[in-house]
Structure 1
């Protein structure tokens, strides 16, 4: 694991010492130097780090550095007439400095600080003592450290040193001690080293010459990757390292001989000193202006719905071929490749493309592009969902159907009401609510596959059931099972004599300060407060028993703290709000078969909304790219929230409300895969974000707020036209088109 270079004493009378190694250092290894100096002030060559230092009779120091490779010596600069004892070692198990401690002994045991040893694949502990006679024997270390080298000294017998080393051992907490008696002050230093990151970076890809001249060659390469991080690159000429490592990804070799072929190389280094395999090219040092020949026999070897694989025969060049460039519809795809085959991914189904290949030499000259036209396999549309059934209720229809068939797989089913898509679901059933009693509707269902292909619509004409109540005035109020301004199924007439809060504008709550995108709010002079609604009137039954039963029914229409739906039908317009009781239902006697009633209600969200949402969706055909949805909102409410859901594949996407200019952004690196089980749902009303994942990953939708960037500009829709734009980047290797679904309800004050 280690190699001793030097174990020597340098006598007094000098201030600078040059220490030579018996063989050159290996790049990435650590050089460790222990120094004991009688008069102190020793300093090693530039590049060495002082790791630990203590003072007793003599100065005791540990220096180290990660070798660049090829080092053959170092220099020690000390004080005048400085007696120096040193020990140097090169090790391949000490890339990271883990801990260091200093101690001082004057006749007894010294205890160094408690240290924590992390998990390492290999490691080494190194210690140095410096003292005066008669304590010339080494002490006893706990945990045990063996002598790494014999004691050294000078003819004046004033200075003594001892160096120790041992494997670092398992991870954990421990305390180092050295125990011996000394007649004078003794300094002690100790340092621990290890390999916490044994994984080297990948070999730098795409190495090529960017300029070739008679006496110089410039090269460039693409970034290497590492499990922790690449910190620098090393340059080589004919196998020998050139200069120090650098962070840039270009380099020019100079001083070459015209007409000579050179092997030029580059490797990557990480923070732990690991070095990658070396990427090399051979270059002839001569001005090269001739491009390569074009690739021959460009051919299509595989074709699918969203991929196409091309192959070609090798091109030729008079100096040196570096690789091949790939193109789709005239645009270059990625970096140059060295292989003679490539698969284009993320293509659209049934679409025509022009692919191209050219050759590039080590001087950067490119051949003409050879093109090939092809069309991906078209998507087979899904079949019709079989077995569609519709079970009508008074104000809803319950649908059920069997799975449709498709060559790619069914992503979802769209539900249509009178020819318009009103919802989409991944299940085999859906309930359409908010219908009129006794109304006739055309209900439809169609399947949509993973490629966005839509099958035929299966339709049924369905009539809802007649209401069990008969209106006797307008508007008609519906609160769960109770109906006002109507005669119910029991023959009780419910008359609304007074209404407060429903038809009037809700109170405005002044804002203490402007609210903006920093907390997801909306800027404005104030916000609407909760809507308080009071309905009062009388009920007239045909018997005493019927009246008492009617009192029980209105009390049970909505239990305390339960959230229910108040739906009001006036003329051809039906609106609703979510409400709860603010107190008990008040009952007052008005005779033997009549009573007065009061329903005190509170709508936390003051909006009066349409019963059914406006539904629309859009797919982004090509990424990077965008697609938009345009919807028109009715009503007079100032801010109309919506619900937005996004499916992949898409990365780093944004949702922009064009009219306000506000944007919801995901955090950098956020990606939705090409799997319809993954999606992100953003509720602009409650500001709740949910991430949908497969049930085997997590059984229920989980909070997805972490997928968004600094809290987004939570826009709301406006009365009139609204345009929402989905934009983003492709997910590498993923095929398909991302889509966005928007649901919003017309709203009134």
Structure 2
């Protein structure tokens, strides 16, 4: 920072100096500055009148690249300069020119600044009254507010003075330097080690480095190497280095573990791999081999002869070779103490290689646990670049790439059949196809899941009757309310008596409620027959899902029902089909977005009420329905919700069924598991409408779930066109629709009761039927509808859950 005082104009200065605008118009005072990187020896300034006096005052300010504020004046009295909050280390410079008869003039500094004022008089003319003052002041703490410069002049009168001032300082620096890189061992004896590191960087500048041995500071230093002496041979030491800047900000520490020994052991043999092959060229590379000290270089050999001096790089390219000729390339390593390893070698042909290795042979399962499967195989071979390793796959997903011929897949789910794959790759990336093998993990029979409990209730009174430890239980919940429960009661067990069993299993009056832990998950009414086998002593019972009780009830004609919503029909049907006891067990909720319809009910149109429910559901704004266990909080008792799923907008359950994965096995049927309806209309000349309808119902009698496929059309112009269109749509609807039964993995966390029947689940399958896609995706990736859940709480392996899904389309042409 340079103050120039001259009443003559300044015509030029040394290169690189900037004249500050705020000081350019004061009475002969100018301020110049530049950032200096060293090497400057002079500063020159030219004036318009070389005979006039000139005064130059220079201040060197370190670490002050930021300018905070300035002011200038040609006035009398006092002035101030607002600079806000200043960090420590700021410097204020003030230049003052005045005519006085007394040199008792001073600047008033604010609190926090220490004045280091220097008073200059005109030494060429001691009698002159012209006084030049330049002051510098530094802050020893942060300063807020403003700097006031008040000139106290004893004989001011009408004399004039001028001043210019500026504040410079460092930016607030809270950023630490980067971590010193490449901390490495560069020398060693049995009792000492020498380490070095590369420079750290900082936004302002690194001042030095802190060095630590086993966490204890060895002091700060400016250099980037350190020797530790007096160490114990064979004992490991932790060396750490950090960097710090002028503000004391310190970086994280780089770490290195060193063990001083008398190292006479050579490094491990370098493993040479091919990097590139071409006509007449061979490139090889290698990793850094292990050593007791540190590897510092490598020797490279061709057909046994060393090529050039030792090198540091881990890559070597040979050119000018005979195309197609075979060469043996060798590499050895030398450590810090001069120990040289044996040679690692590769024999390669100097020509391009695009051929993959042979397939891995004999891929087989070595062992399986609940969560892992170990697979082994015989090695592949390669004609030139050599086998570099083997890829391991779980289904289509790559898990690892290894050099050995055995691998353990971990983190698997118990009781699942998985597909595992192995391929081979050479040094240039040429890869074989996968060899696949299937294996199942062992089931988890730990019984960590909450136990099932079977409680008998009186249908009419809601009074609990008994809790029976049923055996061989299996139950199902389905769309349409056709789920059933079957179970065995071992009458040979002395805990049972005929009276107890008879009291708890009264047909048509006993409700069986299934709890998993404290959660109600299924319920239904016990029905006939009760089968008994005298040889086994087992009584077989069957229960029907709670909505099934309405299957034996009928309702009478009540006249027309106009403009009602489809879901309100359920409430109306319950009112006319249910007894008061029934309604205590049941509740229901609506389906948003349904459409108002007109219906007329007649006794002859009613079969089983479930059929009528299906008819209602099939109407405009229809729905699918099932029974969901719930709880009556008001009366503190179990009940069931007649649950409806909007057919046109089914929910996404978020469930993914994946094989191999959480599906241990699946079966698929492409037989018709659905009811197909095709209908159309033809306007007649007299204003009437002729309807044509075709219904196909196939697998319904075989117990398959109901899936819908609907087609409709209108606007046709002739009876022939109507019939032809009906036949075309019916034929189109007759194609196969897939139904899947997925047996899930046996785990304690399958929360099947939270899955929404009628909702969508994503089906992902990769196997022989659905091979992996070219992009690596699963062979089948499709959203399907959950139509039933079958549960066996106590199979031989544990809780067994089977999910049935199917394709569901509502196509309108």
Q: Calculate the TM-score normalised by the size of structure 2.
A: 0.34
Tell me which protein shows more helix as a share of its residues.
2
